[in-house]
Structure formats: structure tokens, C-alpha cells
Structure 1
Amino acid sequence: MVILSKLEQEYLLRTIESGIDLADLRSLFLWTQGPLQALLPHEALLCLQLDGGGNVVRSECLHRAVLDGAALDLLARLGAQLAAAWRAGPCLPAVLDPAAPAGQLAGCLALLRESGFDNVLVHGSAALEQGATLFALFGLPFRPGPRHGHFLQLLLPYLHMALLRAPGRASSQGRVEQPLRPLSARELAILACVRAGRSNEEAGQALGISALTVKNHLQRIYRALGVANRAHAVARCLELRLL
């Protein structure tokens, strides 16, 4: 039995509340880079839709970086392998960690190592008439365990419905919402520092300005992009190819 701390309960509630109405890939991407990161921090999320035979009919990779074709192809092959291995087991959250490979996903170890990610946490839905789904979180900053699998179980319905509701990338091209105004060179430089994981103080030192000035710039950036925090701002700029 998993007993959540008060902070975990708060993170879970915020993640659920903000995930109820996800209806396109853009909002799903922003959700994974904001609320979901607070509960299950990860580098990439692979969202798979499966047919009745367990074959992958759709694959969406949500990643802060822009991956090239070879990387996407590798993740697609790894996703198909993970889906087959996961469905062959008890259909509970499963973990694969190259440092301690074991369990039903152990056969996927070679492709996981080739992908460069440290670990993967996998969970999905049972076979459903409208399409089963599977979600793989790559590169958690710690070895995922039963607690993190429990979080993914609780959030699976929201991930499942969001993927089924969201049109694919091909049908959503050309509908990316633009900022209220163009971002300045200084603002983009600050966002580059944020993307690199620098604090306001560190960004200020790199750019020769104060931490307070960095904070004020960030508030203006949030308004221009229509986002609420640093992770959302970086995600939006990557989506818009501004970084």
C-alpha cells in the first residue's frame, strides 16, 4: 500500500485537475512538461496507441529537445518492443533499469541502452474497443519503483483519454498558437539559460544583469507565451522552434 505525503497529494491533485480537459498534443505536451514533471520527472514520454492485436498504430514522443529521424525511429522500435513485453506480463507498472535489469522488460535492455536513457517506467491500459494505450517515461532522475508506478497508475486515465482525443501531428500542423508578441534577443537568451537549468542568479551572472531583472523578464515572457512557469515557457519555445 502506498501512502502519499501531503506534498505528493497536492502535486497529484494539481496534475489531475489540469489534465482533465487535455484534447490536443500541444496541451498534452505542456501538461507533461509542467504538472506531470512535478510528480514524475522524466526526460521523454512515449505515448503509444495499440490495436486489438497489440500492434502499435500510433506513436507520439513528447520531448523537450527536437529529436532527429534516427532517434525517433529508435524510440518507435523500442516502444513496440516495450509494448509487446508489457502486454505479455501482468499489465502492471513495469520498470527497466540498465543498472539492474530484471523483470518482464529485460528483453528490451539493448534498445534502451542504445537510446541513451537511464531507465524507463511503463504502464498502459487493458485491451479496449476504442484502442489500448501504453505510456513509457524515459530518463527519470532516480530509479523508479512501486511508488512511481502507483503515481502512473493513478494518472493513466488522463493520459489515455488525452492521447485518444488528440489529433496526430500531421492533422495538427499549422495550428500552433503564436506568442502575443515576438520575444526579444534578451528574453530568448534568458530562456536558453532556463533551459540549461540555471537559476535566476546564475542566468543574471551569465548575462550581466541582476537576478531581479531576470525575474522581471520571465514574468513578461510568461505573459507573452501564455504560460505559467519556467518549464511551460521552455516547452512552448521548443514547440515554436524559438530555441
Structure 2
Amino acid sequence: MVILSKLEQEYLLRTIESGIELFDLRALFLWAQGPLQALLPHEAMLCLQLDASGAVVRSECLHRAVLDGAALTLLARLGEELAAAWRAGPGLPAVLDPVLPGGQLSGCAELLRESGFENVLVHGSAPLEGGATLFALFGLPLRPGPRQGHFLQLLLPYLHLGLLRAPARTRPAAATAVPARPLSARELAILACLRAGRSNEEAGEALGISALTVKNHLQRIYRALGVANRAHAVARCLELRLL
């Protein structure tokens, strides 16, 4: 039995409240990089949709970085193997960590090593009429165990509905339009700091400017990109391949 701390309960409630209305991949990405990270910090998440036979019919990789074709192909292969191994088990969250030998997903260890991630936490839905789903969280900073598996179980309904509601990845005009003006080198450096998870103070220290100057730059960046906050700015730059 997993007993949540008061802080974990608060994080869980915030994550659930913000996960109720996920209708596209942008919203799912921002949710995964924001509220979900508070409970389940991870480097990348693979979202898979399965048909009645368990075959992967859709794969979406949510990652802060822009992965090249070879990396995406490798993750897609790994996703198929993880899906098959997970479905052969009891339907509970499963962990693959090469440091810990054996386990339900052990046959996928070689591909995990090739991917460059240290571990993966996997859980999915039972076969459903609208399509089954499976989610793999890669690169958890702390070795995943029952506690992380419990969080993923609690949040699975929101992940499941979020993926099924979201249309397959497209490049809509609003997402591919160029910024209102080119971003300066300083602005791109600030965005790189945001992408790395740094606060205004940490970004300012790294760039040799004050936190207030960073904040002023951010306001100009938001206007240029047509976004409202830090997470949206990073997501927009990743879409535009500016970082």
C-alpha cells in the first residue's frame, strides 16, 4: 500500500485538475512537461495506441529536445517491444532498469541501453473498444519503484483519454508560422536556460545579467512568439526548431 504525503496529494490533485481537458498533443506535451513532472519527473514519454491484437498503430514521443530520425526510429522499435512484453504480464506497472536484473521487461534491456536512457516505467490500459494505450516514461532521475508505478496507475485514465482525443501529429498553420520577429541570440540563450529548467535567477547568473533583465526579455519573447508563459514558449521554439 502506497501512502501519499500531503505534498504528493497536492501535486496529484493539481495534475488531475489540469489533465481533465487534454484535447491535442500540444496540451498533452505541456501537461507532461509541467504538472506531471512534479509527480513523475522523466526525460521523455512514449505514448502508444494499440489495436485489438496489441499491435502499435500510433506512436507519439513527447520530449523536450528535437530528436533525429534515427533516435525516433529506435524509440519506436523499443515501444513495440515494451508493449508486447507488458501485455504478456499481469497488467500492472512494470519497470526496466538494467541495474536490476530480470523482470517482466528484461528482454528490452539491450534496446533501452541503445536509446541512452537509464530506465523506463511502463503502464497501459486493458484492451478497450476505442483502442488500448500504453505509456513509457524514460529516464526517471530516481530509480522507479512501486511508488512511481502507483502514481502512473492513478494518472493513466487522463493519459489514455488525452492521447485518444488528440489528433495524430500534424503541422497546423498556427504552429508552423514564423515568429513576429527573429529572436536575438540573447533571447535564444534565455530560452535554452528555460528548456534546461532554470529559474530567472539561475538563467541570469548563467548569462551574467539580472533576474529582472531575464524577466523583461521573457515578456518580449512571449509577444514575439504569441505565447503566454514559459512552457508555451519552450514548446513553440521546439516546434519551430529554434533551439
Tell me the SS of whatever aligns to 2:95.
strand
Question: TM-score when scaled to structure 2?
Answer: 0.91
Question: Take 2:109 and 2:164, find their aligned partners in 1: how far apart are those partners?
Answer: 29
- Spell out the pairing of 1:21-36 with structure 2 (5 A cutoff): 21-36=21-36
- Spell out the pairing of 1:90-105 with structure 2 (5 A cutoff): 90-105=90-105
State the AA in 2 paired with 1:105: L
Q: CA 1:231/1:101 → structure 2, altered by over 3 Å: closer, same or farther?
A: farther
- Spell out the pairing of 1:209-224 with structure 2 (5 A cutoff): 209-219=209-219, 221=221
Q: CA 1:174/1:101 → structure 2, altered by over 3 Å: closer, same or farther?
A: farther
Question: Take 1:44 and 1:202, find their aligned partners in 2: how far apart are those partners?
Answer: 23
State the AA in 2 paired with 1:226: V
Q: Residues 175 and 236 of structure 2 are in contact (CA less than 8 Å); yes or no, is this contact kept in structure 1?
A: no
Q: CA 1:71/1:107 → structure 2, altered by over 3 Å: closer, same or farther?
A: same
Aligned residue in 2 for 1:38:
38
1:79 matches 2:79: yes
Superposed displacement of residue 37, structure 1:
1.0
Question: Take 1:174 and 1:39, find their aligned partners in 2: how far apart are those partners?
Answer: 33
Q: CA 1:219/1:11 → structure 2, altered by over 3 Å: closer, same or farther?
A: farther
Q: Which runs of 5+ in 1 are unaligned?
A: none
Aligned residue in 2 for 1:162:
162
Q: Residues 64 and 195 of structure 2 are in contact (CA less than 8 Å); yes or no, is this contact kept in structure 1?
A: no
Deviation string for 1:182-229 (max 9, x for gaps)? 46413222111222344433422343321222234335545665344x
Question: TM-score when scaled to structure 1?
Answer: 0.91
Aligned residue in 1 for 2:109:
109
Tell me the SS of whatever aligns to 1:164.
helix
Q: Residues 64 and 238 of structure 2 are in contact (CA less than 8 Å); yes or no, is this contact kept in structure 1?
A: yes
Question: Take 2:235 and 2:45, find their aligned partners in 1: how far apart are those partners?
Answer: 13
Superposed displacement of residue 175, structure 1:
4.1
Aligned residue in 1 for 2:173:
174
Q: Which runs of 5+ in 2 are unaligned?
A: none
Tell me the SS of whatever aligns to 2:173.
coil
Question: Take 2:141 and 2:133, find their aligned partners in 1: how far apart are those partners?
Answer: 24
Q: Percent identity?
A: 80
Say what the alpha-carbon RMSD is for the aligned residues: 2.1
Question: Take 2:204 and 2:77, find their aligned partners in 1: how far apart are those partners?
Answer: 42
Superposed displacement of residue 154, structure 1:
0.7
Tell me the SS of whatever aligns to 1:47.
strand
Superposed displacement of residue 180, structure 1:
8.2
Tell me the SS of whatever aligns to 2:117.
coil
Aligned residue in 2 for 1:3:
3
Superposed displacement of residue 5, structure 1:
1.0
Question: Take 2:65 and 2:108, find their aligned partners in 1: how far apart are those partners?
Answer: 23
Q: CA 1:177/1:151 → structure 2, altered by over 3 Å: closer, same or farther?
A: farther
State the AA in 2 paired with 1:176: A
